[in-house]
A and B are shown apart, each in its own frame.
Chain A
Amino acid sequence: MIGIIDYGLGNLTSVAGAVEKVGFEPKISGEAAVLGDCGKLILPGVGAFGDGMRNLRQRNLVEPLTELVMKAGKPILGICLGFQLLAKKSEEFGDHEGLGWIDAKVTGLKPDDKTLRIPHVGWNELYQSADSILFDDVPDESLFYYVHTYKMEPADPSIRIGECDYGGRFTAAVQSGSVFGTQFHPEKSQRYGLTLLRNFLEKS
């Protein structure tokens, strides 16, 4: 079973549908005990960083999830806001502390080309900057669907496995041990999105 973490934010149905499509059984839950029984976890999410952390705390998920991921090494994939929440801190609407599983900081996208619109919405490249099991059968520079206003930059550049360009390069995917994350939405990126998701579920 694949645990999809329900913390009151995000397109859980879409993520569950994609997990099912690539041949796995999704379990949407906000209970630490249920998630603990799942082989792998997905932290989806759209919305604001502060709300995301508040909701995770209110549901008493931060400590048990940290235990499962950082101590027990259960593989996790953070998507979009779920990817940014992996960071230590964020500057979105004031300073917020994140899950801190990755030494990284979330800041606003500031394209050097002022004609570029914010949020960054639509299909854009994923440049594979390092090898990863996520990229098996995914051609370099494939297009993925992005929708975000903030970006997460890890302190250690070696965990950055993918980049995107929107008036400057930013981190689009990370892998640090069994912690994976993508700024784009694999569940909404058609064929290669599903391939990447299947890679995580099969190979992580």
Chain B
Amino acid sequence: MLRHRLITVLTFNDGTLFRTKLFEPDYRYTHNFVDSWLVDEIVMLDVTRKEGDNRAFLDVVTQFAHDCFVPLAVGGGIRTLDDVRKFMTVGGDKVVVNSGAVERPRLISEIAEAYGTQCVVLSIDARQTDGGGYEVYSACGRNATGMDPADWAKQGEDRGAGEIMITSIERDGSLQGYDLDLCRRVADAVSVPVLVLGGAGSWKHFVEGVEEGGASAVCTQNIYHFTENSILSAKKFLAERGVPVRL
């Protein structure tokens, strides 16, 4: 039986891991993190807000990928196939696209044609609207796009995205739980796996993401949850509640 995945998302600013309680970034922890902690998959995102230079991030990915024997998805600022090639060369197994795909949706098909659909994760950031719906935002949540996340996810799937990652901007960092309505709308709109991100603050939020949100994988950015046995503890909690996970 296919297991639901627990995915850890790491965000980097100019090559420095942030949004953590680690004051000193130390990428050597990856050996323990990946090999002993039962993490199913890792997403590394570059959220540096200056354009162009991502050498520091590429260096970090290179170091990280060397000892990473689980799937590694990499993203941040991807706009061309050349950007994709750079991320794949340093050890990415798939890439995460967001604003680049909003600006030029053909980017999704270009990557799918060159590397296969399994290589493209379409990341969608959304906010609630006054009318009870949702709207897609690009550029790290700064630009409203007028698009509905479920429609955009479906379009992404049609263009060749192999997975959809849906993030609630309001829930980001809130620890209040995922936006399950948002996740369910997207999961119902597509037949590819959906990854949910934004708001997980306790193990029960992971169960809700799967059962109520319809997610194939639950993600968290707040890696301070993950010390020593915490991934194992989260997975045991999921398993006890009937969610199939890898233990």
Q: Interface majority SS on A: helix, strand, loop or mixed? A: mixed
Contact of B69 among A48, A147, A188 (CB under 8 A): A188
* Segment of A14-22, A31-39, A57-65, A99-107 engaged in the interface with chain B: A14-22
How far, in whole Å, are A194 and B5 apart by their CA atoms in the complex? Answer: 20
> Are A117 and B192 in touch, CB under 8 angstroms?
yes
Contact of A122 among B3, B35, B119 (CB under 8 A): B3
- The reply to whether the CB of B159 lies closer than 8 angstroms to some CB of chain A is no
> Are A188 and B93 in touch, CB under 8 angstroms?
yes
> Are A117 and B116 in touch, CB under 8 angstroms?
no
Residues of B within 8 A of A122 (CB): 2-5, 40, 193, 216-217
Among A118, A123, A149, A193, the one with the most B-chain Cβ atoms within 10 Å of its Cβ is A123
> Are A188 and B71 in touch, CB under 8 angstroms?
yes
Task: Give A contacts to B, CB under 8 Å.
Answer: 9, 11, 13-14, 17-18, 21, 46-48, 51, 81, 116-125, 143, 145, 147-149, 165-166, 185, 187-191, 193-194
The count of chain B contact residues (Cβ–Cβ below 8 Å) is 37
Residues of B within 8 A of A118 (CB): 191-192
CB distance from B74 to the nearest CB of A (A): 11
- The reply to whether the CB of B243 lies closer than 8 angstroms to some CB of chain A is no
A-B contact pairs, 5 of them (CB 8 A): A13-B89, A119-B162, A121-B162, A122-B3, A145-B71
Contact of B193 among A46, A47, A117, A194 (CB under 8 A): A117
Shortest Cβ-Cβ A-B pairs, 4 listed:
A47-B116, A13-B91, A123-B246, A147-B118
Given contacts A11-B93, A190-B70, 14 further A-B contacts (CB under 8 A): A11-B88, A13-B65, A14-B68, A46-B118, A117-B193, A118-B191, A121-B193, A122-B3, A123-B2, A149-B117, A188-B93, A190-B35, A190-B69, A191-B35
- The reply to whether the CB of B90 lies closer than 8 angstroms to some CB of chain A is yes
> Are A81 and B65 in touch, CB under 8 angstroms?
no
In the complex, what residue of chain B is closest to A81 when comparing beta carbons? B116
> Are A194 and B69 in touch, CB under 8 angstroms?
yes
Contact of A124 among B2, B71, B92, B115 (CB under 8 A): B2
CB distance from B87 to the nearest CB of A (A): 10
Q: Interface majority SS on B: helix, strand, loop or mixed? A: loop
How far, in whole Å, are A102 and B95 apart by their CA atoms in the complex? Answer: 32
Residues of A within 8 A of B192 (CB): 117-119
Count of chain A to chain B residue pairs whose CB atoms are closer than 8 Å in the complex: 101
Residues of B within 8 A of A51 (CB): 113-114
Task: Give B contacts to A, CB under 8 Å.
Answer: 1-5, 34-35, 40, 65-72, 88-93, 113-119, 162-163, 191-193, 216-217, 246
Residues of A within 8 A of B66 (CB): 17
Residues of B within 8 A of A191 (CB): 35
Residues of A within 8 A of B93 (CB): 11, 14, 46, 188
In the complex, what residue of chain B is closest to A46 when comparing beta carbons? B116
Contact of A14 among B65, B119, B193 (CB under 8 A): B65
> Are A187 and B2 in touch, CB under 8 angstroms?
no
CB distance from B159 to the nearest CB of A (A): 15
In the complex, what residue of chain A is closest to B217 when comparing beta carbons? A122
CB distance from A151 to the nearest CB of B (A): 14
> Are A119 and B119 in touch, CB under 8 angstroms?
no
Contact of B91 among A17, A124, A193, A194 (CB under 8 A): A17
How far, in whole Å, are A147 and B40 apart by their CA atoms in the complex? Answer: 13
Residues of B within 8 A of A9 (CB): 115-116
Contact of B115 among A47, A148, A165, A188 (CB under 8 A): A47
